[in-house]
Structure 1
Amino acid sequence: MKELRGPAIFLAQFMRDEAPYNSLDSIGEWVAGLGYRGIQIPSNDARCIDLDLAAESQDYCDDLAGRMAELGLTITELATHLQGQLVAVHPAYDDLFDAFAPPEVHGKPAERQEWAVDQMRKVAVASRRLGLKSTPSFPGALMWHLVYPWPQRPAGLVDAGFEELAKRWRPILDFYDENGVDVAYEIHPGEDLHDGASFEAFLEKVDDHPRCNILFDPSHFILQQLDYLAFIDRYHERIKAFHVKDAEFRPDARTGVYGGYQDWGDRAGRFRSLGDGQVDFRQIFSKLTHYGFDGWAVLEWECCFKHPEQGAAEGAPFIADHIIRPTDIAFDDFAGGETDKAKINRALGIAP
């Protein structure tokens, strides 16, 4: 067994244009003061990282990691959710997803996709330079509008959708393999990979690619009413990143899984700060420890009620309290004895 590392925090939800949230150094000092030991950096945010320079310069990466180390922080991953999303966008979502890309590619889906792929490749190189093992990402979606089987799907439609998704991602996965970095897809509603079945379908299309892996975030499984503990049992070999994020699902006569187009606070399924929802983190940390996951436990804070500063302050001790120090002794060792072949044979009823 190995020990999870942490506590760490994903910075995306906290970055804004006011101190101490407006630069990596200042927000790093803030989260270190809260007790965090690691930071997951949104690679699309220029306030955190110059991605072009990180992909070109080992000196820049060394300086970046060194400045964080002076604060007692480790860079855990460079996240690529927004860029990964833009690798595959159905035309119905073009206008909405343009906001994730620079203005010069707005209204130009093909150029926007090329930009996204280039961004993913730069993160692969930057991650290698920083000594990182994986990048959390989204796969994008060509079929989300087909998630409910009405109208009936024509035969072969879903298979063709996964073929196209794999066609777009296979060269990226190969490039990540060349750089020794995993892509950890966050299994997430709105993505073509939103549960175990859809992940398996994609994995088959990329020929079980070794760099096609999973970011485990139980909050999205609460919202889908999926068994997130059994998910770990089934897919633990592919889990390469972990978001510690809470959620609750409280259906009533008015809304259920689909949410009725309501705002987050009025939905049956909603994200909560750590400890305020329904996720069984004791069992999650136990299972991940059992299976030897030694990555970072990273807070992703999203809550429709609690202030982010309170959520961040509560998150570090919450994670620290759940990290298990693996034992190197058995609890019943005291009752054992030295190996004695004759005694073993007698216990088994075997003649000497």
Structure 2
Amino acid sequence: PAAPALLPESNVIGLDAPIGERVKKSTVLIVDDIPTNIEVLAGVLKDEYAIKVAISGKKALEIADAFHIDLILLDIMMPVMDGFETCRQLKANPKTAHIPIIFLSARDGTEDVVAGLRLGAVDYVSKPADPTILKARLSAHLLLATAMQDVKRQNELLIENARLREDVERMTRHDLKSPIAVALHGSQALLCSPLTPNQREQAHMIETAAENALEMINRTLDVYKMEQGSYQPALQVFDLSEMLAKVCQQVRLAFDSSDVTVSFEAPQDVTCLGEPLLCYSLFNNVLKNAIEASPPGGRVTVNIAPGYGNLHVMIDNAGEVPPAARERFFEKYAPSDKIGGNGLGTYSIRLMAEVQGGSVGMDTGHGRTRLTITLPCP
């Protein structure tokens, strides 16, 4: 009889029919060179599964290649092409390699069982098969095979969705470049006109912020390279204190409506060995996270401390990291209470520090949180 019509597969596993219902719609191929044996097995299984039959290994290969088969009951002792050779060819064909095979044979020696399992069979049933045991084994292997197909399909969908997300992110980055470029050109035009000193300073700050924003958009493309270990930083000696002062000033302007204060007393001549724009992105992310995590009226402080062949930048803010997020704070997609967070902020901070030969650390408790970024110095 023809197999019952199946509903179209959903793109979400949870929207499929229950796995038990789908298993009942499975098609079982019975392969035996003795018609009487086929009749007995078909009589046992026909009320629960759609049945197809083959009286030779060659015919079994043709049917399995042409139709959707969920499980094969395969006799070992057959003329011309025995069950072992049939199984070998089924597993060699990409279209049929996934089909679970249960061997049937009056021979139940250890060597036959081991040989069948080594060829890829999932089970071995001795003839004459007890109907209750046969049904139980078929049900178990069909449930397992269906679950594995669900996992495989879900993995394929996840890969497809990841590629789609990357495409959307690339398009978003491209679309963001246009308005930022307008702000950059506008600030440059203002700088060419008569301005008061204060206005010139503000226009220059807009120009710098727009340039850095464009660079940061391009930097997001580098995160993938950092994950793969293929990113090569252009290290150079630069004034870290001066760069941190600019970051703090621009962050203050970005959070002008916030009542959180940012404190940084820039020391003189603090040089660092790193990539300036990468460090700009790193500390910009850290300070924004610290401000967003601070309670109203809070204070974020930035300090620099020397080390042995390196230096430490410490960013302190009021508030504690939730206990559930502490252990995985710098991991990808770590849990967070931040609204709209994607779990990539602290992860990218760690990548940016490590790719420059540095490291990051977090300490939280007693109402405070401290992030320490360690970077090499010349």
TM-score (norm 2): 0.22
TM-score (norm 1): 0.23
Which structure has the larger Rg over C-alpha atoms?
A: 2
Q: Which has the higher strand share?
A: 2
Higher-RCO chain (CA-CA 8 Å, sequence separation at least 6):
1
